[in-house]
Chains A and B, each alone.
Chain A
Amino acid sequence: MKRKWILFSTMMISMAFLSGCWSKKELSELALISAVGIDRDEDGNYMKAIQIINPGNVSSGLQGGGGGQAPGVTVITAEGKSIVDVHINASAEISRQLYHPHANLIVIGEDLAREQPLNTLLDSFDRNAEFRNTAQLVIAKKSPAADLIKVLSPVEKLPSEKIYKTLDVTEKMRGENITVSLQDFIKTSASPGIEPVLSSFTLEGDVKEGKKQENIQQSQPETIVKADGLAIFKEDKLVDFYSGNMARGVVWILDRVKQTDVLLDWKKNKDAITYSVIRQSTSVSADTSKDLPEITVNVKAEGMIRETEAPVKLDDPNVIHELEKTAEKEIKEQLERTVKQTQNKKTDIFGFGQTVYRKDADKWKKLRNNWNDDYFPNLKVKVNVDAFIRRTGLRTAPNLSEIKEKYE
């Protein structure tokens, strides 16, 4: 009995010691990847730029730490026949094990996105257990993805953080971009009746300057990365970029606008009044009784007057009402223009098809095959806007009116 116990406990202990520390990896043996950029070269090989964090340079709080002296990231590039192939090739350039879970950004080059359906490209990321599906996906507009990753950023020590946070903030403030994560994109592109959109970023300035630490040692960096509207996809391939009011129109119909400004004309003064939307809700409904479905977009916007460049009597309810009407008209026009232009592109990024599918699945079965090319462009889309002015800021009548009176 005693021997049995000794044998048993020896087995248990050796089991722990033999199998223990199986997947142990010290933090100092890892290269934390913060962002990945993918392009394709002329030969058709994939090129991957991997942005690796230099922890010592990022956290400057440490004694003797060279924070601010050397860049917080290092970018290594490799090429190969497949995404995983590139990844394996990249290990030749770095002394540590590449570690994916902290990567929160994937940048795709414009050329690659135009040539290849993104879904096929993203498979390896989706398949990899180490890679977070919540990483943001963006398109590099007019430049290779690698360049976007190489540019050092002011304020944020990690360029990937800069892009990630810029996207988040501008989505909330301006409503011309939306954050789309890897899993969002894959889900959308796999869903019937909707095409994905992604935010796009552009590089302003020279990438050679942007790579240097000097770039961020000046009050106005020479080279900077900035958010620039949306990339529109058709069948997972990039077809066009939208920016400005067009991009906002898309975001609006997708019901993702959180806050945005609409400029209103007031009595001959163009763009005189800034109507700031602080809350909105948009719903899309479909009427499938006819052969071709009819789509209605209902927008309910609530906002405030933030700026007036023309004298306007804001203490008069009739004036406020009139302003509301103007805002409704303006928003309606913008949205209709966006829908019209997108119909010309023949890609249903608004998910009207999905609405039809949900409303009438049988009808959708008949329509779905040529939805993007035949039916979507000919849809009759009606936009209803209900705008409401909640408040006019701290003033009622603008001081302009008083000044005017003074000189008259």
Chain B
Amino acid sequence: MQENKNISFGHNEFNIQGKVKGAMASFFKRRKKSIQISKNEEPGSGQEKKKEETGPMQAGKSEESSAGKSGEASQKQPDALYTSLAANLDKIKRKTGNSPDVVIRPIKVGGAQAELETAVVYVKGLVDDQSIHDFLIESLMNNAELQKELSPEKAMKTIKDDVVAIGGIKSVKKWDDLFADLMSGNALILIDGSEEALMASTQGGQRRSVQEPTTNVAIRGSKESFTESLETNQAMVRRIINNPDLWVESMNLGKMTKTSVSIMYINGIAKKEIVDEVRTRLKQIDIDSILESGYIEQLIEDQTMTTFPTVYHTERPDAVAGNLLEGRVAVFVNGTPFVLLAPAVFIQFFQSVEDYYARFDISTAIRFLRVLIFFISLVGPAVYIAATTFHQEMIPTALAIIVAAQRESSPFPAFVEAIIMEVTFEILREAGLRLPKAIGATVSIVGGLVVGQAAVQAGIVSPAMLIVVAITAIASFATPSYAIAISARLIRFLFMVSAAMFGFYGLILALIMLIVHLCSLRSFGIPYMSPLAPVIPSELGDTIVRKPLWAFGKRPQLIAAENRTREGKNQKPKPPESRGMKHYTRKEEKDET
């Protein structure tokens, strides 16, 4: 037994190696669009040069083929279950490396005479214990039908139809499906003498409950945020959009992790081309693992050489619902509360769900503020550097004197000073982010007081610089989307360098380059800057300004499909017609009294 375990461990390792290499190789091939994929499968034909490398891989592959890689393996050897229960269980044990959390529970059915060996197999922790005990094992043991003499086929049918009181039940015939289901938390029922196994959906176990969002916090609006469970997340959106047109497609991605990923969109509102594009890009993903939606985001982006996010992600079900209703496609990934939304446009990152919940005047003012904030966080220190080292004439005299007085004692040029402070701040932020909350406060005290105050008092940095850095820092926190704030954080240094080299001239050049870059970006084929560039006048009402809700005529034309009508005409609320107020006079009042 001990020896057996060792062997199977070794086997597992081989397997992983083989899989990764295989994935890499085939990914590479796909990129080159070569037809040599078939050659790759024949050992030795195209791989002779890499014999040392492919050695273990081939070993892994040969083992693998018995377990069955869907397409190719089925031709060589059928990927079917064995008839014998013992063989099947042995295979399961071997394949799972005898892991103790894979529970095999043998149960005898079929009466005293013709005992029929059956077994329930599940993974501890992934399943809902209660349904396993109450609806599966107990039913199997106590059901009267099963105590009669039974053939394996009959038993299978009886269990499927009469015994198991669980919603989802199906039969599997292939090892591949079997393991995929087993590892996702379903329970297997194997019967000796049957080439089929039953699969009861018993997914459950400990999961984080629905909590308040931590990243996209809104004062007004739903307090729910997504959890790590794909099903829960989808259900949360379904609870908002109660419509059969809300379609979901699901798939498993990641060769090793087999992560469930699903696309959600509203049929008739989402553009077919965009849905197809998302689907194709997801299908193209060939990677060993998907650990977070960030993996997917990075693999399906249009443009990778940019700091700007071209896929939106959110924790809020209402944000997802709102975007689906604009025609976007949501990508749910199991194991993360962050749901991807595509296509994303630049201006979207300055919008928050609350903008639509608050009245338009307030939302518009706040959106203006957000753009200002973004601008400050982008060019704040750069403007300071440019003004104090190149364009002293642009500073009002009184301010110039104050700044000059502060700079008298500071030993570094403004640029170096700015870099020191910015880097210090980034260090503080990073330190504060990763530490436990209790120590986080200490860091902020040390950072704020010691570094800030002491640095100024020691004369290493000027107070004006500290103010600029502080405003910039606060501005970068005030941007509603962390994704865009972090890109501004990065580009800020670029601006600082160009401002230090060429003053405002360089700053403007860098700004122009940034805008050109932004205009060149696409998100799933949609111009990133739309509806600002290209200008779509009818949609400018939901960019930096927000139109009143009663004037929201149509959905965005670049994103939404044929059904673009959002609301009916004459939605502007009006007071009722006069309720006879003009006839109301003092005289009538007197009459009544």
Contacts and interface: CB of A to CB of B under 8 A. Distances in A.
A32 B393 CA distance: 10
A63 B459 CA distance: 11
B407 A24 contact: no
A100 to B, nearest CB: 8
B405 A65 contact: yes
B389 A27 contact: yes
Interface stretch (B140-148, B260-268, B325-333, B394-402): B394-402
B410 A28 contact: yes
Nearest to A132: B393
B52 interface: no
Interface string B227-262: 000000000000000000000000000000000000
Interface string B380-422: 0000000011101100010011111111101001100000000
Interface in A28-87: 28, 30, 32, 34, 53, 55-56, 58-59, 61-63, 65
Contact of B390 (A23, A28, A99): A23
B460 interface: no
A55 B404 contact: yes
A56 B408 contact: yes
A104 B397 contact: yes
Contacts of B502: 20, 22
B289 interface: no
A55 B393 contact: no
Contacts of B408: 28, 55-56
Contacts of B410: 28
Contacts of B23: none
B407 A53 contact: no
Interface in A1-37: 16-17, 20-28, 30, 32, 34
Given A21-B500, A26-B414, A28-B410, A59 B389 contact: no
The contact size tier of chain A is 20 to 34
Given A30-B392, A63-B457, A58 B500 contact: no
Given A23-B390, A27-B392, A30-B392, A58 B405 contact: yes
Nearest to B396: A102
Which 4 A-B residue pairings sit nearest by Cβ, starting from the closest?
A101-B393, A20-B501, A55-B405, A55-B404
A63 B454 CA distance: 13
A130 interface: yes
Contacts of B405: 55-56, 58-59, 62, 65
25 contacts: A17-B501, A21-B500, A22-B502, A24-B389, A24-B503, A25-B389, A25-B392, A26-B388, A27-B392, A27-B400, A27-B403, A27-B404, A27-B414, A28-B407, A28-B410, A30-B404, A32-B392, A53-B401, A55-B405, A56-B405, A59-B405, A99-B392, A101-B393, A104-B397, A130-B393
B389 A32 contact: no
Interface string B496-531: 000011110010000000000000000000000000
Contacts of B393: 101-102, 130, 132
Nearest to A65: B405
B463 to A, nearest CB: 8
B388 A24 contact: no
Contacts of B503: 23-24
Contacts of A22: 502
A65 B405 CA distance: 9
A62 B400 contact: no
Contacts of B390: 23-25
B468 to A, nearest CB: 14
Contacts of A61: 402
Contact of A26 (B389, B402, B406, B457): B389
A26 B413 CA distance: 7
- In this complex, the member of B401, B403, B410, B500 whose beta carbon has the largest number of chain A beta carbons within 10 angstroms is B401
Nearest to A20: B501
Contacts of A53: 401, 404
Contacts of B506: 20
Contacts of A132: 393
Which applies to chain B's interface (DSSP): helix, strand, loop or mixed? helix
A143 B517 CA distance: 62
B95 to A, nearest CB: 47
Interface string A349-377: 00000000000000000000000000000
Nearest to B457: A63
Nearest to B402: A59
Nearest to A161: B397
Contacts of A30: 392, 404
Interface in B528-573: none
Given A16-B501, A26-B407, A27-B414, A55 B389 contact: no
Contacts of A102: 392-393, 397, 400
A27 B407 contact: yes
Interface in B445-469: 457
Contacts of B413: 24, 26
Contacts of A28: 404, 407-408, 410
A16 B502 CA distance: 9
Contacts of A23: 390, 503
Nearest to A129: B393
Contact of B401 (A17, A58, A104): A58
B392 A55 contact: no
A61 B463 CA distance: 12
A28 B409 CA distance: 8
Given A28-B407, A53-B404, A58-B405, 8 more contacts: A20-B502, A23-B390, A25-B390, A27-B392, A32-B392, A55-B408, A102-B400, A132-B393
A28 B401 CA distance: 10
Contact of A62 (B397, B406, B501): B406
Nearest to B464: A27
B388 A27 contact: yes
A97 to B, nearest CB: 11
A23 B392 CA distance: 12
- In this complex, the member of A26, A30, A132 whose beta carbon has the largest number of chain B beta carbons within 10 angstroms is A26
A23 B500 CA distance: 10
B401 A101 contact: no
B401 A55 contact: yes
B407 A32 contact: no
Contacts of B402: 55, 59, 61
A61 B400 CA distance: 14
Interface in B7-54: none
A28 B405 CA distance: 8
A56 B502 CA distance: 28
Nearest to A57: B405
Nearest to A21: B501
Contacts of A63: 457
- In this complex, the member of B403, B404, B407, B414 whose beta carbon has the largest number of chain A beta carbons within 10 angstroms is B404
Interface in A314-346: none
A27 B401 CA distance: 9
Interface in A277-314: none
Contacts of A55: 401-402, 404-405, 408
B517 to A, nearest CB: 16
B392 A101 contact: yes
Interface string A93-114: 0000001011010000000000
B402 to A, nearest CB: 5
A166 B504 CA distance: 35
A130 B393 CA distance: 8
Nearest to A131: B393
B388 A32 contact: no
A30 B392 CA distance: 9
B453 to A, nearest CB: 11
A17 B502 CA distance: 10
B386 to A, nearest CB: 10
A32 B400 contact: yes
B388 to A, nearest CB: 5
A73 B534 CA distance: 55
Contacts of A32: 392, 397, 400-401, 404
B500 to A, nearest CB: 7
Contacts of A34: 397
Nearest to B502: A20
